[in-house]
Structures are given as structure tokens and as C-alpha cells.
Structure 1
Amino acid sequence: MSAALAGVRIVVSAGPTYEDIDPARFLGNRSSGKMGFAVAAEAAARGAQVVLVAGPVHLPTPAGVQRIDVRSARQMHAAVLSALPCDAYIGAAAVADFTPRMTSPQKIKKQAGQETLMLELVKTSDILAEVAASPQRPRLVVGFAAETEQVAEYARDKLLRKRLDLICANQVGQAGAGFESDDNALLVISAEGQQALGPASKQTLAGQLLDLLAERLA
């Protein structure tokens, strides 16, 4: 395996976040963490020093990777920012946009005749945007955008709005790609243009993505 990333420090976030409602329930999403773990594994195999901030997933730690396990968006935010400085941040995690304002210390019980339950949600910190605006900003900040429609348009907006260097867009909700699948297809967008990767295994896509990153870091 090439050592093209030797001496490069990369922080990767992967997987979902779980936002607790009470001790028995949470708000979450279907991210498996497979894409982010594949990127971390491939980067370490190429000689990079890799810190992997992982949400609640059931995946083995890639060889040579420093893993930090978190549960909530707040915990992921703290772990990622504390891992700076680095040369590249790859935000492959599906971080919750909102979290319950209050977490009940006891299981919320259904009352007799109750037909609805109101939850007040508040916005979580925007990890990607904060990393991109940080005084310790990495040379490369790479985001992911999982969309169900207008994939390129929404991803390009996110790239510009959050001042990212690259964004990797993929369409979820279809068979054989996206969340929970072993395969995927990415549209990698930058200010200069876009490049389609895949369909292929997430391991193959990780290698192709890191080829692009290595070129930019060089």
C-alpha cells in the first residue's frame, strides 16, 4: 500500500448520532458508519495518522486508527474540535440537525386518552461549518451530503454555505447505495467542478476519494 499520506493527520467522523428523549428512547438515523470507517481504514493504510470520531455503530476499529466513541451531536462536536489541528477533516457522519431541548430522566409514560406527544427540538452545533471557520482550520475540509432529491444542487449549496473545500453527495433511499449498504456512489463537488465516483464498494470509493485528497494536499 502506498505511503502517500505519511505524516498527514486526518480526522474522520462517521456514523449517526443518537439524541436521547428519555432513558428508553432517542432520535437517530440510519447511518451505518461504513463509509467513514472505510475512509479511516484506507487513510491509515496509506500512512496517515487518523483520528476516527465514531457515533454509535457496531463496526471494528480499523488497524492503526485512534478511535473516539461518542453518542450525541454535542459529544461529536466536542470530540472533533478537540482533535484539531489536523491537515484534513472528513465529516462523513450523519449528525442530527436537532436535539430535544429537555431529556427526561425517567421514561415518558403514555397517559390515559393521550393521542399526541409534543417534543421541543433545538438546533445542534454545525460541526462542519465550525471546523471550516476555525482558527485551526485544516487545509482540507470535506463534507458529505446525503440527499433524497436534487442531490447536486443541495450539495453545492452546502459546499458554499459552509465554506468547504469538497463535498461528497450521495442519494439515499434507493437500493444498493447510501445508508446501511456496502456499496455507494458519490458525486464529489468542489468550487472548480464535480466528479462522479462509483457505483462501487465503499472501500473502493474511499480509495478514490483519498486519491483526490492526496492530490490537493500535495
Structure 2
Amino acid sequence: MSEPLAGRHVLVTAGPTREPIDPVRFISNHSSGKQGYAIAAACAALGARVTLVAGPTALTDPDGVVTVHVETARDMLDAVETALPADVFIAVAAVADWRPAQPSDRKLKLDKASFSSLPLVENPDILKTISRRDTDRPGLVIGFAAETHDVEALARAKRERKGCDWIVANDVSGDVMGGAENAVLLVTAETSEAWERAPKGVVAEKLANRIASALA
């Protein structure tokens, strides 16, 4: 079997993050982790050494992959930076953009006033942080963009804003979140390429092969 990613370290994030409000409530994003896990497995199948930094999911750790389990966005960024250096970084995780400024260590009683004025602070931007590192930046940094409209325009804007090399954009207005299939648009500095809807494992294999070609 060909292993075109042999000798390469691929770092992948997957799943959501959970930002605690109190011991029983949290802020999060919809994400099953299926696409990120599939990408990690596909890169490992091509011979890569793969580190998967995963938020809370119900999935089984992929075979042949080092999986690091985290909860919050700050935990995820710490784990990603600890795993560097890497040849490729693929930010698939649906990281919560905001977190409560002061999580309570006791369950908050249901009071509309307390929740309507819950102070929030911005979470670290993991993709942008890794894309703009001065040292040990991976040679290929790939972000994901979950959009519900104007997919290509928003993906191109995100690629510029984050400083990454590629964006894999998908329209999540249907059943993509948690579903078994995905249809994506691969956006680079020069081109955009629409991939037909397919099982997430097939999308992962196609992306892994495209990465191998880019690094060859």
C-alpha cells in the first residue's frame, strides 16, 4: 500500500468545545466530530503520524492515531501548541467563539436576569493563532468553514482573515452537522473546487490525497 504521507506529522482538531457556565450548563457548537475523525484516519492510512485533538464527542478514537481529549477552546489551543511542530494542521473543530467570563462553581438558579446579562469573553482563535505563528508554523494550514449562504465568498474572506493556506467550506443549512455525508468547496489562493456530496470518509480520503500531492 502506498504511504505518501510517511514521515509527515499531521495535526487535526475535531468536534465541538464546551465552555462552562456552571457545573451543569455550557456554551457549545453543533459538531459530531465525524469529519475530523475521518480526516485523521485517512491521513494515518497514508502513512502520516497523526495527532487528533478532539473536543467532546461520542466517537471511538481512530486506530493508529494519537488522540488528545479536551473540553474548552483554551484546552484545545494548549494541546495543539504542545503537539507542534507539524507538517500539516487541519482545523476541523467547531470551536465556541465565546465563553462565560466567570463560570460559576455552583449551579445557577433559573433567573432570566442573570442569564440575559451573562458576561462573555472571546475565545482564542486557534486557526488564526497557528496560521500566523512566527516559528514552527506548519507548512500547510487548512481551516474549515461552516456556512449557510454565500459559501464561496465567505470562505475566501475567511482564508484571508485567518491567514491559512486552504479553506474547506461546507453548506451546513441541511443535515451536514451530525450527518454521514458532506459536500464541500476547497478554496485555495488560486482556485476553488466543488466536491460532490459524498460520505465523510470519502471526503476525508480525497482531502488526504490532495494534501499528499501538495507536499510531494
Instruction: Give the TM-score normalised by the residue count of structure 2.
Output: 0.96
Q: What per-residue deviation string (whole Å, max 9, x for no partner) do you get for residues 178-216 of structure 1?
A: 210010011000001111112000000001111111111
Q: Could you tell me how far apart the structure 2 residues matched to 1:164 and 1:5 are?
A: 20
- TM-superposed deviation, 1:116: 5.8
Alpha-carbon spacing, 1:162–1:114, altered in 2? closer, same or farther (3 Å) = closer
1:98-137 equivalent positions in 2, closer than 5 A = 98-111=98-111, 117-134=116-133, 135-137=135-137
Counterpart of 1:73 in structure 2 is: 73
Q: Could you tell me how far apart the structure 2 residues matched to 1:4 and 1:41 are?
A: 14
- TM-superposed deviation, 1:37: 0.2
Q: Could you tell me how far apart the structure 2 residues matched to 1:115 and 1:194 are?
A: 46
Matching residue's letter, 2:125: D
The sequence identity of aligned pairs, in percent, is 46
1:57-68 equivalent positions in 2, closer than 5 A = 57-68=57-68
Q: What per-residue deviation string (whole Å, max 9, x for no partner) do you get for residues 81-137 of structure 1?
A: 1111000000000011111101001000125x8696321111111111111111110
SS in 1 for 2:137: coil
1:3-82 equivalent positions in 2, closer than 5 A = 3-82=3-82
SS in 1 for 2:52: strand
Counterpart of 1:208 in structure 2 is: 206
Alpha-carbon contact 1:197-1:208 (below 8 Å) kept: no
Q: Which 5+ residue runs of structure 1 have no aligned equivalent?
A: none
Instruction: Give the TM-score normalised by the residue count of structure 1.
Output: 0.95
Counterpart of 2:157 in structure 1 is: 157
Q: Could you tell me how far apart the structure 2 residues matched to 1:69 and 1:198 are?
A: 31
Aligned length: 215
Alpha-carbon spacing, 1:116–1:39, altered in 2? closer, same or farther (3 Å) = closer
Q: What per-residue deviation string (whole Å, max 9, x for no partner) do you get for residues 148-196 of structure 1?
A: 1111111111101111110000011213xx2100100110000011111
Matching residue's letter, 2:136: Q
- TM-superposed deviation, 1:18: 0.5
Alpha-carbon contact 1:188-1:194 (below 8 Å) kept: yes
Q: 2:183 aligns with which of 178, 182, 185?
A: 185
Alpha-carbon spacing, 1:109–1:5, altered in 2? closer, same or farther (3 Å) = same
